[in-house]
Each structure stands twice: as C-alpha cells, then as structure tokens.
Amino acid sequence: MSPTHSSVFERKEILQAVIIAESFDNQFDPVTREIPKVLLPLVNTPLLCYNLVWLHRCGIEDVVIYCRATPHSALIKKHVSLLLERRQWSSMTVRVFATDDIRSTGDALRDLYAKRIIVNDFILMRGDTIGNLDLERMLAIHKSNKQHDPKVALTCLFMPVELSNEDDVQLPQASQNSKDSKQNYSSLRVSTITDMRGKILTYERHRRGSDLMFPTYLAYSHPKLVITAQMPDPSISICGCDLPGLFADSFDCNSLHSMIRSLIQPDDLNECSVYQYVVRHGYATTVATWRDYERVSMGIIQRKWYPLVPEVSMTTGRHRYLHDSFVNHYFTASSNVGYPTIQDRTMMRLQQFRIGVKVVCGEAMQVSTNCRLRSCCFGNHCTVEDNAQLDTVFVGDNCTIKSGCELRHCYLGNNVTLLPNTIIEPGCVVASGVTLGPDQTIKRATLLATKQIWQKLDEVEKPEKPVSVSANAVLFPRDSQEAEEGFTTNEDGQTLPIWGIKEDDFIFVPEEDDSNSSSSGGAEDGGADVIDAAGQQNEMDEDERIELQFKHEVMESLVLSIKDTTNASNVAIEINASRYAYNIKLEHMQLIVLKGVLLCYEEAKTGEEYTESSEWPAWPTLKQGIHRYKDVLQKYLKTNVDFLNTFERMASEDERVLATATKVLYELNQELELLDDGFLLHWFRQGGASKDTDNPSFVKLKQTVSEFLTWLENAEEESSEEDEDED
C-alpha cells in the first residue's frame, strides 16, 4: 500500500485526562461523610465542575473519573450526567468508573491498566485540583522531554514559590522580586533537586521537622544542579501511557508520590525518569485542607482564577450573579442585600447595611440591617438577622443565622440554624442539619455533626458515647494528639495544618532537641520506642520505624543467603524489593547495606542481632562478608565517593567501626580493588564527605587509618619515581 493510503489509517492521538475523585483521607470530615469531596461547593459550585470546565477549555477530548464504589459514587455519576446534559459538550466525553477495590491512587491506575483505557499520554489530576493552566502546552512540554529522554515516565507540574500579598488572603504570584517572600498558598509542598533540563534527582514531600536530603554523589556526578524548596504542588502530572503498567508491576506503590520516589532511584533495574516543570503562567492548586478551601474561595471571589469567576455558573454556563466590581460583591435579583433596582446601575451602592468587601449572596438571601459581613460566601435561601457579625464564613443553602451571632473562619453545611448569640470560633466545621444555641460558644477547630452521621461511623472511629453539644448535634471525633499539635497527615504522610489552629502550614517546625537522648538505643533492639538517658520513652516517628524494618529485612536476606548457601547476587533482588516497598533514601540504604555486609557473618554464626551492647566482630568474620558480597557492594556503592562517604557516616554513628577501619579500607583498596589509591588519598586530604578537616568524626577516622595513608603515600611516591627512571 502506498504511503498516501497508509496515512489514512494512522491513529489520531486523543487528549485524555484521568481524575482521581477520591481523597483517601479524612481532611474534610464531617462534611465528606454526607457528600463526596469532589462535590463540595466552592463559591457555590462543586469542585468537580471547575475541573471539567477547565479540561474542556483546554481541548481535552476524553475524561475518565475514578472513584470508590460507595453511595457517593452514585452522586458523582448523577452530577456528571446533569452537567453534560446542560452544557451539551460535543467535543468531550466523560466516563465515571466506580470500583470496590480502589483504596489509593495506585489501585486506580492498576485498574486503569487492566481496562486498557489509556492509549497515549494523559493528564493525571486529583478531583480537588482546580486551575486555569494551558494543559495542551503542558502536554507539549512532556513530549519535548520524551524527545530528549525516551525513558520519561511522567512530568510533574509545580507552581513557583509565591510572594506575600498585602491583602488579607495571600495569592500566588508568578514573579519573585522580594527576598522576604512568604509561602502561604498551598498546603501541599514539594522540594526537589534537578539537573539543568528538569530531570528530578531528589524528591521530598513536606514533613514536619524534616530537611531536604542532598545525596553527596549528586555533587560529583552533576556539574550543575537546581535546588527548589517547598514548591506548591497542584497534584497535576503529564503521564506517559506506560505509567499504569509501572503501577501494575509495583503492587506496593499506592500513591504517585511513592512511584516517583522509586523511579528516581539510581538503579540498574530502573530504566525510567521523572521530569518537572515549574509553571510561570496561570494558577493551579489543590484544595487539600480547610485552610486551602478558604484561600482558594477568596481567590475566586477576587477573580484571580479568571476565567473561573463566580458570576458564571459552571454547571450551565450562564450568568447567575450580578457583580459589583468596586467591592467584589456577587448577588442575584432576588437577594435583599441593600442594592436598589438592578436596572439602575449608577445607584448600585450599599445603603445602611454594613456589608464589607468580597461577599457572595445566593438566591433569595435576606440580610437584615446592622449586620456585618466580610469575605463570606452564602448559598441559596439564607437569612442573616440583626447584629450578626461574620468574617470569612462559608455557608450552605437554607441556613439561618439569628441576631447577635458571631462567626469567624468557619464552614456551615446546608440547613444549619444558629440561634441568637451563638459564637463560633475559627476552624469550626458544622455539618448539615445542625442547630446550635442560643447563647452558646463553640471552641476553635471543633467538628460538629448530627447524631445520624455519628451513628454511621465505624466502631473503631467513634468513641463509646457521643458528646452532645445541642439537641441534635454531637462532637465529631478527632485525634487528640493532632488537635493538640495542630497538624495532621495525609495518605503520603505529609504534614497538613488543622484549620483554626495552625496558620504557618508551610514552615518546617523543628522538633525539640534533647541533648541527652540516645538516638539508637531502642531502635537497635528492634523495639518501637527510644529510651532517653532520663529513662523516658519517646515514640519513633514513621520514617524511623520504616527504616528499622528495612534494616531488619536486609540483614535477614544477607544471613539467610549464608545459611542456605544460595547465590549472593540474588540478595540484591530482595534488597531492591524492600527498598521500593519502603521508599528508603539512597544514602540511608547504602549505609544499611554496608553495615549489614560487615556484620552478617557474625550474626549467622551467633544467631544474635547486633546491638549497642554487642562487641564489634573480629576481622576474619568481617572479611568473609566483604568477599562474599563484593558484587552487592558494587551494585549499591558504585563510586569511590559512595564507599568513603558511607564508611565515614558509619564510623561517626558507631565508633566501634574504627577498631577495624584500617583493615576494611586495606581490603577494599588492595585486595578487592574497589577503591582507587589516588582518590582515597585525595578524599582524606579534602576533609572527607563534609570537606571539613576539623570535623571531629572525620579527624578520628583519619587518625585511626593514618599509618595506612602514610604507607599509600610512600607507595605512590615510589611508583612515580620508578616511572620517572623508566622515562
């Protein structure tokens, strides 16, 4: 067949997008016990509508929505059907898949792979992500990355670090002119190290009290690096069609975060790469917390997300509100909010009502005189009576707020009634159907729900008896430790603020530094806690528990291979599996593997685990481990820098290593030839890993092996003299 005819049958590339309509956390309880999060009203429009309108404007042709098969999935399907009926989009199809087995993003993508739905590159986003980015341009950037590097699995989109805004609600800025910039827009944060083309080499999610780890091998292998700290993460990625297959092969990867961590690990078995692109034009964010909900709502009211503006209904595409641009008021003809005739636009001004700026009033809203409203959004058929004061409050449909009520930074669901003189402090969330008051004060960050919602909770989630607050309202359970600290965590373990308690959600909060604490006493014993010098018990954090479990599995693999006399190279496969399962950082893994190789023969012989009270093994058993697992060492410690930096860290953490340090270095250098003479001397002259010749741990190591270094220097000099004589 001629080329002309064959071109007719070429497959057209379809622009696809996948929306994960499950959040897999409880950040928006108790509201999300009634409705799915993607249908949560944001300025009186469900979150999902913003997504679909945005995708349609970007020319996306096929949208796949994934959710869990629950009663909520029926609500999502009904809403999507209604939206498509009203908008009459002929250029975009929307399909909703509800599956029982979806418990994570990884499960959704594995199911996507099984159904063979993805045919080319696609956009992956969360259901609570909104924005106005040019997604077609983002797809073109991903294709450009693929032309340069065919192994690209996905391109992550991040927003630039924002600047502070003088307004009361901070909004992202594309420029960066101020040195004293303040990050205050999105709760989801990412820090990365990339090469000059944007290939991600190190990727860290924001965790409380954590730092960005910088693997030292990167400084030697890349002449230039780009370090970007705490970029807002809108949870949008441009993915290759192979990504669902990667999730299918990695059954233990349950989030995109864990998949990225595994893909960027330098490994012979890993042939994929991940790139990033920092967006310079447009906005995008994820409504991950109630604090994000407040910020994004105010941004929409201030028209920062144009063309996503409040007066245009995302469901029908028609104008629903009139807009007073002077004070950013949005209202309907049926609302009694102080405007005279709608036709007389020159008379559009507030009369005797004390309504402030940035207020959205739904249909048939009634506002009495002498009330004060500021930065609020009201649903339809709401009533606010005399002397009520509301500041940054989000109110659902059919709500009544009686006289004398005071509300600040809170959320009210549908059909909520506040009787006279009810005070609600910041951070409170009141579910639908609740009645409060009169003369009642709700403390900050309180979650309230009806007894019907409380009864539907699992037995594990709810206490034995409900705590009644009013005739039909009870306290919704919240972890006491989280409420005290003001932070909670999402599915990736990322630290998120609790609305009304913590405002500086982007700042790393350092943990208390106890100089008397022992960092390894309990960990080496395999326990779950650490005992300090005062005899007090300190719980391990999740990262420490994971690393301890990984350490046990590595040692178990090394010891069993010795006992079963199996091929030593097979151990690397087991270590890789554990490493990907636990997402262990490269430098931590190198340290664990090197120490495990040195200690494995001693543990195989004695059957006892090495602890802080154990004696350092004799040299013959150490030598056996080094020779047996030479290939394993070479796999994970690929360069001279890796060997020496890891050995220095091991000696600084456990000084008993110094007893055989000279023999270990001699064996690696002279017998196995894994260390180069010249580089070894150069490394010690420059001050080791930190390049600080006064570093106490480095000084001890150098003094211990000084005779070996002197011998090497003399041998080098003799060798150079012999070469000169031959010349």
* Dist. CA 682–CA 32, nearest whole Å: 60
Q: Is residue 504 in a domain?
A: no
Last residue of a domain, one of 595, 610, 637: 637
Using CA atoms, how far apart are residues 710 and 691, in angstroms rounded to an integer?
20
309 in a domain, yes or no?
no
Would you say residue 402 lies in a domain? yes
Peptide bond into 340 cis (omega under 30): no
Report the sign of the C-alpha dihedral through residues 391, 394, 397, 398, in that order.
Answer: negative
The per-residue pLDDT for range 673-715, each reduced to its tens digit, is 888 888 888 888 888 877 777 888 888 888 888 888 888 888 7
- Is residue 516 a part of any domain in this protein? no
**Which CATH number goes with the domain that contains 70?**
3.90.550.10
Tell me, what CATH number does 463's domain have? 2.160.10.10
| Residue 683 and residue 601 share a domain | no
- For residue 707, is it within any domain? yes
Q: Are residues 455 and 529 in the same domain?
A: no
Q: In the prediction, which pLDDT does 500 show?
A: 65
Q: What residue numbers bound the domain in which 119 lies?
A: 12-290
**534 and 387 share a domain?**
no
Residues 26 and 142 in one domain: yes
Q: What does pLDDT average to over the chain?
A: 77
Is there a domain that residue 342 lies in? yes
Give the residue from 290, 314, 349 where a domain finishes: 290
pLDDT at position 224 over 80: yes
**Average pLDDT, integer, range 119-141:** 88
Domain count, the chain: 4
End-to-end Cα, the chain, rounded Å: 69
- State whether 93 and 231 are in the same domain: yes
> Do 660 and 715 share a domain, yes or no?
yes
Tell me: do 177 and 282 sit in the same domain. yes
Name the more confident of 207 and 548. 548
Rounded to an integer, what distance in angstroms lies between the CA atom of residue 37 and that of residue 364? 26
pLDDT at 69 > cutoff 60: yes
5 domain-assigned: no
Q: pLDDT-derived band of residue 183, with 50, 70 and 90 as boundaries?
A: very low
Residues 5-43: b if buried by 16+ CB within 10 A, e if exposed: eeeeeeeeeebbbbbbbbbbbebbbbbbbbbbbbbbbbb
pTM of the predicted model, to two decimals?
A: 0.68
Residue 311 within a domain? no
Write out pLDDT tens, residues 549-605: 788 888 888 888 887 777 777 787 778 777 766 777 778 888 888 888 888 888 887
3-class DSSP state of 222: coil
